[in-house]
Amino acid sequence: MEVRVNPEYCKGCRLCVIVCPHRVIEEGTELSEKGYIPPIVSHPEKCANWKRTDKRKAVCEMCILTCPDHALEWDEKAGTKAEAVEE
Ligand code: SF4
Ligand code: SF4
């Protein structure tokens, strides 16, 4: 699964960029309709949860827990289901 940024809520504070231990999220370059610059999930395959398909079994949620605007969410369908972690 993959972290997704909701540009409707993101205020471009960059906290998620700073907190991610695997550098999954990078600074963005494009202005949102709200007038902020949301980050980009540029390396989703590096996320600790990339091979997981159930957000209840996430082993890291640092970015989601840190975001003050609840702008990050899981897309459980993204990622390599064929190699999904069995738990
Ligand atoms: S869940 Fe953890 S590893 Fe994955 S993007 Fe968020 S902070 Fe980075
Ligand atoms: S922490 Fe939340 S509000 Fe801040 S840049 Fe990341 S997604 Fe946007």
Q: Residue 67 belongs to a domain with what CATH number?
A: 3.30.70.20
The predicted pLDDT at position 77 comes to 87
**Rounded to an integer, what distance in angstroms lies between the CA atom of residue 36 and that of residue 7?**
8
- Does residue 10 lie in a domain region? yes
Q: How confident is the model at residue 79 (pLDDT cuts 50, 70, 90)?
A: confident
pLDDT bin (cut points 50, 70, 90) of residue 87 is low
Residue 87 covered by a domain: no
Examine residue 51 and state whether it is found in any structural domain, yes or no.
Answer: yes
- The pLDDT score that the predictor gives to residue 52 is 93
For 28-72, how does the pLDDT look when each residue is reduced to its tens digit (9 = 90+)?
A: 999 999 999 999 999 999 999 999 999 999 999 999 999 999 999
Reduced to 3 states, what is the DSSP secondary structure of residue 63?
A: helix
Pocket test for ligand 1, best of 5, 14, 24, 26 (most atoms within 8 A of CB): 24
> What is the extent of the structural domain holding 76?
2-80
- Predicted pLDDT of residue 80: 66
Please name which ligand lies nearest the alpha carbon of 41.
Answer: 1
Domain count, the chain: 1
